Every structure is written in C-alpha cells, then in structure tokens.
Amino acid sequence: MAMSVKSAKLWVLDANDRAGLLADTLGPLASAGASLRVVMAYRHPGQTERAAVEVYPIQGKKAEAAAQAAGMQPSQMACLLVEGDDRPGMGAQLSRAIASSGLSMTFLMAQVIGRKFSAAVGFSSEQDAEAAAKAIKSAGKKRG
C-alpha cells in the first residue's frame, strides 16, 4: 500500500468532563450509521473539568444531524489523515518531512494496527496542511 495523505475534517465537542461523555457522544453517531475512522477523547491539560471528543469522518445528513444534536461542530483545525504500510522509523520520517518544510504541527495522534500505520496530524491553517501533505507525499516516494 502506498502512503495516502488526505485532508480530514474533524468534528469536535468541547464540554464539561463527566462520566459517560464519550458514550453519549458516540451513541447517536452509531445510531445514525456513522463509520468513524478516528476517535480522540481527552481532558484538557491543566483543566481537568474540561474534555474534548474529536471524530472523523462525519458524512451525510443523518450523521451530521446526529453530530450536531450531540453538541459537535466541524473543527476549525486543519487536519491530515496519513495512512500506509508500517515500517521502522515511520513516525520519524513523517515528522522530519513536516519539520523540513518549516511547518509546525498543532497535534499528532498516530497508531499502528497490524502492519498498517495511520496518523491524524493537525496544523494551524489549511495552507500549512496543504504544504505538509506535499512534503509527506514527497518523503513517502523517496523512502518508497
């Protein structure tokens, strides 16, 4: 599998943390038939009473309505979804490609399942995300 890099519109809920927040957010999405590829849930550093849930993708009117009913909205944060075959040094290659382009990430969430690598990478602007996508694709071709 070649490395794929594409824009990912995250949907986010920022709320008071409580037991069941994630389940109450994901339940309506599941009922609406949303098939999520990325789920991030966390407390805000230094603000343990606040939490966030971020998901991707929300596609279709039914899923969008469910997300909105759960209090979610499209994130203003530019994000890329990077996927491909895992190999040693993949995270270093990805972060080096971004850094070598003079860009700074706002977040990185990466994982390996089986032999596949995936990462959600955030940027402060769509322009930075577009430049990073080009750099990542170029680095992927060089390492092949």
82-107 burial code (b ≥16 CB/10 A, e <16): bebebeeebeebbbebbeebebebee
CA distances from 16 to 38, 44, 76 (A): 21, 10, 20
pLDDT at 119: 97
Residue 120 lies in a domain: yes
Mean pLDDT in residue range 96-102: 96
The chain-wide mean pLDDT, for the chain, equals 95
Which pTM does this prediction carry? 0.90
pLDDT at 35: 97
**C-alpha–C-alpha distance, residues 39 and 120, integer Å:** 10
Do both 86 and 126 map to the same domain?
A: yes
Tokens standing for residue 57: 């993708």
**C-alpha–C-alpha distance, residues 18 and 51, integer Å:** 8
Do both 20 and 37 map to the same domain?
A: yes
Range of the domain at 69: 10-74
**C-alpha–C-alpha distance, residues 132 and 105, integer Å:** 9
Total domains in the fold of the chain: 2
In this structure, which amino acid lies at residue 129?
A: A
Do both 93 and 116 map to the same domain?
A: yes
Tokens standing for residue 106: 């706002």
Mean pLDDT in residue range 28-39: 97
Provide DSSP, 16-58: E--TTHHHHHHHHHHHTT---SEEEEEEETTEEEEEEEEEE--
142's CB contacts (< 8 A; 6+ apart) are none
State the pLDDT confidence band at 140, using cuts at 50, 70 and 90. Answer: confident
Do both 67 and 111 map to the same domain?
A: no
pLDDT tens per residue, range 39-98: 999 999 899 999 999 999 999 999 999 999 999 999 999 999 999 999 999 999 999 999
Tokens standing for residue 47: 């603000």
Mean pLDDT in residue range 16-40: 97
pLDDT at 21: 98
pLDDT at 143: 59
Do both 101 and 62 map to the same domain?
A: no
Residue 3 lies in a domain: no
